[in-house]
Amino acid sequence: MWEAGIGGLFGGGALGLAVGWFVRHKSAEKEKAELQQKMLDVERIRIGLEHDLKNLRDSHGEKERVSQLQFEQLAQKIFEDKQKTFQEISTQGLQGLLNPFKDRLQELQKKVEETYEKEGREVFSLRQEILRMMEMGRKMEAETKNLTMALKGDVKAQGNWGELVLEKILEHSGLRAGEEFITQAQGMNLKSEDGRVLRPDVIIKLPEGKNLIIDSKVSLVSYDRLIGASTEEDRSKHKRDFLVSVKAHIEILSSKNYQAIEGLTTPDFVLLFAPIEGALSMILEGEKDLFTYGWDRKIILVGPTTLLATLRTVTAIWKQERQHKNALLIAEAGGRLYDKFASFVDDFDKMGKHIKDLQTQHDNVTGKLKTGRGNLMVSVEKLRELGVKSTKVLKDVSSEELS
């Protein structure tokens, strides 16, 4: 009985142990399953967090990239605005300074072009006149011979005709009446030392206020008789008469002493014009000392060809004088232009310094208004946060600046 009780006790204990083990085993498996489930949940959470972290990092990088791009765009816009403003100010300032400079430069260029164009025309004209000079001399010689028959014996008519030939030469010389020459001393009121009124046929004006006197005297009667003489004896007689007549004209012209007249600045000689080239050549060839005779009395004998060449030389002198004056005017204009340009450079430098000063002042004011520590925008925005009523909000103030 006791043994049965013992056996039953052990049997019941074993069964209890088995049941207890089974129950604990089931509980452990359940806990293990729950633990594994929790681990899976934790892993899912970890993966989700890593994914969120990656998204957050990507989003932050994108925001940084966008912010950088926006900053660069803003900086570029500010630079372009300032550059545009500077260009507008510079353009307006430069136009105001350069327009007078441009006008003076165009004026100078026009004057130089006109001067050289005129010089070219005058050189060509001079060449043509030289080519025509001999031809004109031959024509005048023929006209002289044709008129001799009509004029001989009438001294006044001879004088008027000589002056007419002289006038034609003056017209072909390029000199201008009233400008480079005066006839009959009009408006000059010239008088000799003894008070006689003097009217030289032509007064040629030279540069520097000097003058050249031309008087026309002819002795056509003796010359015509010389040409028409049939014997050597008559030819010699009329040649002597012609020579005496020419010397008499030299004496008369020398006695007027034009060099001493007040109001005239002349060389030490006067031109005695003989309108017949052949007559002058003949008398000079026959009387070698005639030129010296006139020179000693400060008189130089000239015919149409010689006089025209002399007057063309005077014309060339006047042309050079005008070119010299133009050169002086150009030099003076160039000097004024240089001064204007130097003044422009100074003004341009001052304008640049002024713009730079304005930029510095603008940056200083911007710092006080927006970007500097304790700037006005932050201070004003704090007033709004403290309760100041407003209908607008400052957009350029960040929360970091207000903190």
What are the pLDDT tens digits along the chain (403 aa)? Answer: 444 444 444 445 555 555 555 556 566 677 667 777 777 776 777 787 777 667 766 665 565 565 556 655 655 665 566 566 656 655 565 566 556 656 666 776 677 677 667 766 766 666 676 667 667 666 666 665 555 554 555 556 666 677 788 888 888 888 888 888 888 777 777 777 777 787 888 888 888 888 888 888 766 677 777 777 788 888 888 888 888 888 888 898 888 888 777 777 776 788 998 888 887 888 888 777 888 898 999 898 888 888 899 889 888 888 888 888 888 888 888 888 888 888 888 888 899 899 998 888 888 888 777 777 777 777 777 777 777 777 777 776 665 555 5
In three-state secondary structure terms, 154 is coil
Distance CA 203, CA 216 (A): 12
Give the pLDDT of residue 2.
40
Give the pLDDT of residue 76.
64
Residue with tokens 């056996």: 7
Distance CA 210, CA 263 (A): 10
What does the pLDDT look like over 223-274, one tens digit per residue? Answer: 777 777 788 888 888 888 888 888 888 898 888 888 777 777 776 788 998 8
Give the pLDDT of residue 4.
47
Residue among 158, 134, 122 at smallest CA distance from 318: 122
DSSP annotation string for 280-322: HHHHHHH-TTHHHHHHHTTEEEE-HHHHHHHHHHHHHHHHHHH
271 is written with which tokens? 């031109």
Torsion of CA 30, 33, 38, 39, to 10 degrees: 140
32 is written with which tokens? 């293990």
173 in Cβ contact with 163 (< 8 Å): no
